[in-house]
Chains A and B, each alone.
Chain A
Amino acid sequence: MSTPTPTPTPTTGGAAAALGAALAAEYAAIWAYGPIGVRLTDAARKAARDAEAAHRRRRDELVLQLSTGGGQVPADRAGYALPFPVTDRAGALRLAVEVEERTAAYWRAAVAATTGADRERALAALVDCAVRATRWRRTAGTTPLTVPYPGRPA
């Protein structure tokens, strides 16, 4: 049997819970790039805008995917408390690395909870977060630029 157009697969159980958690992380990441961006200038500010846009795309995909499955779609919040005050460029870059690393952890959990195309998407999201974290470390002058296991809880 073949279908002319791909039919969205209902997302249920552990996969839905993991993707819902990833969505909550994406909401927070999008929010965090606001205070990050205002402390940056030029190319770094542009990179922050691009990163925020990438997180918005992931958010939109997740909302669509979870609502298609008929499951609960977690709601965004009005604001989020930052893990530390962001008052300058260095703090903004440190937060950007942290946001990407922590969002990566949710996507890594989603990889294990999904299969097939859903897993491919979760892996792509994990890779994107990890690569952005590396770029932010370079911008901040942090070394090494990479970690051995992106997204793995410490």
Chain B
Amino acid sequence: MAAWPATMVLTCAVATGRTTQRDGTIRHSRRKVLRAGALLALGGAVAPLAGCDPFGPDDPAPGPDPLAPLVDEALALAGAYRDAAAAHPALADRLAPIAETHAAHAAELARIARVTLPSASAAPASAAPAADPDTALAALRERETTARDTATRACVAAPAERAALLASVAAARATHLEALR
């Protein structure tokens, strides 16, 4: 019997994920850019470098990051789950971990989009959860479905270095739907 590939599948899963990201061409080229920048700086060519800065003052300000709306959506979802858990203590065990996941996603998405994470209290107040637990769960399922689709579209459209995170966000939302069944 051969070893479970095992050592491929069961241990290298971790290594493969990293390798793909670390050895991705984006990072490689970024290293090259940095190296080129260092050489130019040594040569005293600082002014041309500043002129090449894509976000420099000569260029129009870049538009909002496409992930910014996903940050807001994740925060709003975290709030909706927290509100529902508070209104229906019997559901809290199921809903609290999902609320935490959405909050963690919001923080991670804000980090890579380089937007400031709004405080939870600044998030727009969402409608109060329904008094009936089944109705409250149905409302969460509907919002989760929309959010899963948002993340799926964002993943497919994203550059490689963002695709894996967005894929995990989309997958997590799909598992939330399963957990709410």
Contacts and interface: CB of A to CB of B under 8 A. Distances in A.
Interface of A: 14, 18, 21, 24-25, 27-29, 77-83, 98, 102-106, 108-109, 111-113, 115-116, 119-120, 122-123, 126-127, 129-131, 133-135, 138, 143-154
Nearest to B105: A148
Contacts, number: 159
B170 A109 contact: no
28 contacts: A14-B20, A25-B9, A28-B5, A28-B6, A28-B8, A29-B9, A77-B2, A81-B4, A83-B10, A98-B10, A104-B171, A106-B16, A111-B163, A113-B160, A120-B156, A126-B168, A126-B171, A127-B171, A131-B171, A134-B175, A144-B179, A145-B94, A145-B179, A146-B97, A146-B98, A146-B176, A148-B104, A153-B14
Nearest to B176: A146
A121 B24 CA distance: 20
Interface residues of B, number: 45
B119 to A, nearest CB: 21
Contact of B179 (A28, A104, A146, A153): A146
A24 B10 CA distance: 11
Given A18-B20, A111-B163, A82 B175 contact: no
Return the 6 tightest CB-CB contacts between A and B, nearest first: A80-B4, A79-B1, A105-B13, A144-B97, A150-B171, A77-B2
Given A14-B20, A24-B8, A113-B20, A151 B171 contact: yes
Given A24-B9, A123-B152, A153-B18, A112 B3 contact: no
Contacts of A104: 171
A127 B174 contact: yes
B178 A21 contact: no
Contacts of B170: 123, 127
Given A81-B3, A146-B176, A153-B13, A123 B167 contact: yes
A91 to B, nearest CB: 15
A32 B101 CA distance: 30
A131 B174 contact: yes
B132 interface: no
Interface in B122-178: 152, 155-156, 160-161, 163-165, 167-172, 174-176, 178
B17 interface: yes
A146 B101 contact: yes
Contacts of B8: 21, 24-25, 28
Contacts of B174: 127, 130-131
